Amino acid sequence: MTEKTGSLLIYASKCVTGTLIVFTLSYFLNYHDVAWCLISVILVLAPDRKDSVILAFTRIKANLAGVSSGLVCLLLFPVNMWIISLALTLTLSLCYLLKLDNAERSALAATIIIMLQVEGKQVWVTALERVIAVLAGCILGLLITYIFHFNTSSETNKKNDKQAEA
């Protein structure tokens, strides 16, 4: 099996694991609006082993920047295309200031998730439900990344320790 095929299988396994966990938890918690949590899990996961844990943390920070921008704009203004555009610009600015260049798309997705409203629900109820869903998805994505790459990280650290001793 080639390295590329192996990476594809691991990435697919992580995505399937995330999907199964989200749906299982939603069943037991009787919470059926799984889309935002599921999207966040998938956005946090990385396709390869290289720096996957670091990348997961970076994407979580970016999601927090996106969620924060969305919440600030919801607090200050009624939602329309201009305010969503402002929130997206604010998100990109935060990512730039926090040096989260590789995770801007994840942050922008989080901003849009927070900003979109559901008919018949209060803006803040929807926003807070989605913040919780995004954060839960980020945590699940990080846990999945850690579980899938824990052995690889341990083996790499052991090799580095042996090289340092030599």
Q: What is the mean predicted confidence (pLDDT) over 1-10? A: 84
The answer to whether residue 96 is domain-embedded is: yes
Inside any domain, residue 11: yes
| This prediction's pTM | 0.77
Which of 104, 14, 3, 15 has its CA nearest to residue 59? 104
**Is residue 116 situated within a structural domain?**
yes
How many angstroms separate the CA atoms of 21 and 37, rounded? 10
The reply to whether 134 falls in a domain is yes
Q: How much is the mean pLDDT over the chain?
A: 86
User: What is the distance between the alpha carbons of residues 61 and 106, in angstroms, rounded to a whole number?
Assistant: 10
Q: Which domain holds residue 132?
A: 3-149
For residues 84 and 129, is the Cβ–Cβ distance under 8 A? no
Q: pLDDT tier at 17 (50, 70, 90 boundaries)?
A: very high
**Percent of the chain surpassing pLDDT 90:** 47
Domain tally for the chain? Answer: 1
Residue pointed to by tokens 């846990």: 143
Domain assignment present for residue 136? The answer is: yes
In a domain, residue 154? The reply is no
- In the predicted model, what is the mean pLDDT of residues 144-154? 76
Give the pLDDT mean for 49-60: 83
Question: Quick check: is 157 in a domain?
Answer: no
Rounded Cα–Cα distance for residues 133 and 121 (Å) = 16
Per-residue pLDDT band at 57 (split at 50, 70, 90): confident
Is 165 a domain residue?
A: no
